[in-house]
Structure 1
Amino acid sequence: MNQDFNHIQSVYWVFTQLCNDDCDHCYNDSSPFGKRISHDDCMAIIDNLPNKMDRLILSGGEPLADKKLLYAILDKLQSRYGNEIQIMLQTNGDLLTKQKLQTLIDKGVTRFDIASIDRYHKKAGGRLMELAELFESCGVIGTEKDPLIEGGHYLTENPLSWGYWGASEDMWLGGNWARGKALKNNIWLKDPSHNFCTILSGARNFLGGYSDIPQEISIQLWRINPCCPGTHFPMGDARKEKVADVLKRASQNAVFKMLNDGNPLKMGESLGISEEAAAEKNEELKNICLYCDHFMKCHKNEIFDEKGVMATLEKV
């Protein structure tokens, strides 16, 4: 496990839940009425990010639905980090124009991922060829290579690139996480054998120490999470705390260490709860995210102190 959390491979930041679309499967309730945080909050979060990041993913919601805030964030990132990080924008592409694309490039975005090529989104991939021409007109190279998964350093040989993907029943965005509108609309994956913690965007390796999957944390608006679905209670508040300090505390907490290992059914071992008992409850709830929520709610006072700060828990 890492000891210096002032350098992290990847941070996934949903800075807005405002969106032009209102997809049935959206795990964070993004919509035209989605939650937002202030300009000052976003500036404080940037100040609290690790000193070094290989990649920062900006997502939503739809980032371009909150365009003024997105541009301010990019300016602040440029001021703090210069060209030392790869900035990726995850967008549905609906609001992208040539002028906006060029502005984003000028403000330091080097990777664009169109995350809407599926039946859940309004345009269902119908704009893909138009977007391909748009990217080509601005010198953005289309590639299937994922700069997070492939290659150790993310300032790649082709630093300006784009790719596309979408939700499917086989992928984690296909209404699988028991979260948000997927939960409300009953399209979450009912499969207790599926361990979301071990896949990209799950909790495994959020503290580092493994080489099979990149190190990544998630910030949902201000909530610091070990995974994109997010634990029921966040690890910390990125508006008020240094992210590196929060991760350091997590590295000393037996529950979150098990999440880092990708073993959510072993989260309770330090509290006397056997893996067998956890597996039985998970089977009942039919989804590991729901089991994680259940566990956190039942044991909040043992995992966190009265101020909501993670306690130091040693494995028994």
Structure 2
Amino acid sequence: MNTSFNHIQSIYWVFTQLCNDDCDHCYNDSSPFGKRISKADCMQIIENLPEKVGRLILSGGEPLADIKLLYAILDKVREKYGDTIQIMLQTNGDLLNTEKLQILIEKGVQRFDIASIDRYHKKAGGRLIELADIFESCGVIGTEKDPLIEGGHYLAENPLSWGYWGASEDMWLGGNWARGKAYKNDIWLQNPDHNFCTILSGARNFLGGYDDIPQEISIQLWRINPCCPGTHFPMGDARKQKVADVLEKASKSTIFKMLNEGNPLKMGISLGVSEEEAKSKNDEFKNICLYCDYFLKCHKDEIFDENGVK
């Protein structure tokens, strides 16, 4: 596990929950009425990011639905990091055109991921050919390789690329987190044996120490999380706290060390909750995210104060 967090490999930042779509399986309640934060808040969050960030993934919501804010964020990121950071953008592609793509490239975006090529989104993947033409016209290479999994040098070797994926019965719909509209619409994965903590979007390696998946944290608007689903209480507030300081605090917590190892059922051992007790409760909830919520709520005062992790 890392001891200093002034350098982090990957940050996944949902800077807006505003979206042109309103998908039933959205884990963070994004919609045309989704939550937003101010430009001032976003600028302060960037100030509070670590001194060095390998890659920043900007997502939503739909980033292009909040395009003025997206442009301002890209300008501020370039001002802070120059060319030392890799920038990725996740978008449903509905609002993308050649003019916007050219501006995004000029502002430093290197990788574009279209996250809507399935029947559950508004366009149901119907723009894929049109998007391919738009990318080709701007010199953006199409590839199915995942720049996160393929290793830290992928974007340096492929400075402009795009790919696509979408929801399926196995993942993002049938395999969804018990969060947001997926939970409200009862389409979350009810399988207590599936450990979200071990996958890239989960908490494993958010504090570092492993080399098989990137060290990645998630910021949901301003909430600093060890995973994309987000813990019930955030580790801290990126508007008010240095992200590196928040992670350093978490690294001293036995509970968050267990999440970093991908072992949420062992979170409570130091507090007298055995792994057997945790497994029984997890079986009852049928989803590891719901067990994590339950555990953190039960032990809030021992783990968190008004600023997040004690």
Question: 2:253 aligns to what?
Answer: 253
Distance of 2:172 and 2:202 partners within structure 1: 9
Question: 1:265 aligns to what?
Answer: 265
Q: Which amino acid counterpart does residue 132 of structure 1 have in structure 2?
A: A
Which deviations, in whole Å up to 9, do the C-alpha atoms of 1:169-190 show, x marking residues without a partner?
A: 2224656100000000000000
Distance of 1:215 and 1:119 partners within structure 2: 32
> Map of 1:127-146 to 2, 5 A cutoff?
127-146=127-146
Conserved? CA contact 1:169–1:175, under 8 Å: yes
Offset of 1:167 from its aligned partner?
Answer: 1.1
Q: Which amino acid counterpart does residue 230 of structure 1 have in structure 2?
A: G
The TM-score normalised by the length of structure 1 is 0.96
Structure 2 unaligned residues grouped into runs of 5+: none
Conserved? CA contact 1:147–1:156, under 8 Å: no
Offset of 1:162 from its aligned partner?
Answer: 0.2
Distance of 1:214 and 1:40 partners within structure 2: 29
Q: Which amino acid counterpart does residue 16 of structure 1 have in structure 2?
A: T
Identical amino acids, percent of aligned pairs: 82
Offset of 1:227 from its aligned partner?
Answer: 0.1
Distance of 1:120 and 1:294 partners within structure 2: 30
Distance of 1:140 and 1:153 partners within structure 2: 17
> Map of 1:19-168 to 2, 5 A cutoff?
19-168=19-168
Q: Root-mean-square deviation (CA), in Å?
A: 1.0
Question: 1:310 aligns to what?
Answer: 309
Distance of 1:223 and 1:145 partners within structure 2: 30
Change (3 A) 1:121 1:174: farther
Question: 1:231 aligns to what?
Answer: 231
Distance of 1:139 and 1:21 partners within structure 2: 28
Change (3 A) 1:173 1:87: farther
Offset of 1:207 from its aligned partner?
Answer: 0.2
Change (3 A) 1:173 1:212: farther
Q: Check if 1:180 corresponds to 2:168.
A: no
Conserved? CA contact 1:197–1:204, under 8 Å: yes
Structure 1 unaligned residues grouped into runs of 5+: 312-316
SS of equivalent to 1:248: helix
Q: Which amino acid counterpart does residue 201 of structure 1 have in structure 2?
A: S
Offset of 1:90 from its aligned partner?
Answer: 0.2
Offset of 1:309 from its aligned partner?
Answer: 3.3
Question: 2:282 aligns to what?
Answer: 282
Distance of 2:183 and 2:165 partners within structure 1: 22
Which deviations, in whole Å up to 9, do the C-alpha atoms of 1:62-109 show, x marking residues without a partner?
A: 000000000000010111111111100000000001000000000000
Offset of 1:156 from its aligned partner?
Answer: 2.4
Offset of 1:144 from its aligned partner?
Answer: 1.2
Question: 1:15 aligns to what?
Answer: 15
The TM-score normalised by the length of structure 2 is 0.98
Question: 1:297 aligns to what?
Answer: 297
Question: 1:4 aligns to what?
Answer: 4
SS of equivalent to 2:35: coil
Conserved? CA contact 1:254–1:267, under 8 Å: yes
Distance of 1:175 and 1:118 partners within structure 2: 15
Change (3 A) 1:154 1:224: farther
Distance of 1:22 and 1:309 partners within structure 2: 31
Distance of 2:173 and 2:246 partners within structure 1: 27
Conserved? CA contact 1:17–1:28, under 8 Å: yes
Q: Which amino acid counterpart does residue 232 of structure 1 have in structure 2?
A: H
SS of equivalent to 1:156: helix
Conserved? CA contact 2:25–2:172, under 8 Å: no
Which deviations, in whole Å up to 9, do the C-alpha atoms of 1:279-306 show, x marking residues without a partner?
A: 000000000000000001111001113x
